Amino acid sequence: MKRRLDRVMTHDADRVVDRGAFAVALATLPAAPKSKAKQRPLDAAVRFAIEKALQQRRYCNAFALWRTCRDKRCRRAGTCCGNAGACLKLGLVEIPHDVQWRVRQHIIDATPRNIGAPERKARQSMPGDLYA
């Protein structure tokens, strides 16, 4: 009887060692790379267009183009409310290039690092590139 009990305990001890070795082997295996879902070109174009409109509005507000805007809503609200592309096109003639560059740098510095490619492309554009 005692001999049978020893045999079972030895067998169980070997099983634990084998499980430990298996766990170590699994831990050392390289993880399978996760495949990233590719974005459709149409989705990227839509995201770029949305961010471009927001970027135009950011530039209009940064340059305070609402002060000289023809639209009463913009002057009343103290921010761009109308067609930001048209205001940007008319107002950039009077704004020096170095001021445009500095505002662009401030926007890029405020951009999070994990932003998507279409949004990053729109935010890195100069003001003159956004209305053309």
Q: Cα separation of 74 and 53, whole Å?
A: 16
List pLDDT tens digits, range 70-127: 888 988 999 888 888 888 998 899 999 999 999 999 999 999 999 999 999 999 999 9
- Six token digits for residue 31: 């993880």
Decide: 75 and 69 in contact? Cβ < 8 Å.
yes
Reported confidence tier of residue 22, pLDDT bands at 50, 70, 90: low
Residue ranges of domains in the chain? 41-131
Provide the pLDDT for residue 31: 67
List pLDDT tens digits, range 30-86: 766 666 677 788 899 999 999 999 999 999 999 999 898 888 898 899 988 888 888
Burial class (CB in 10 A: 0-12, 13-18, 19+), 105: exposed
- Six token digits for residue 45: 């174009």
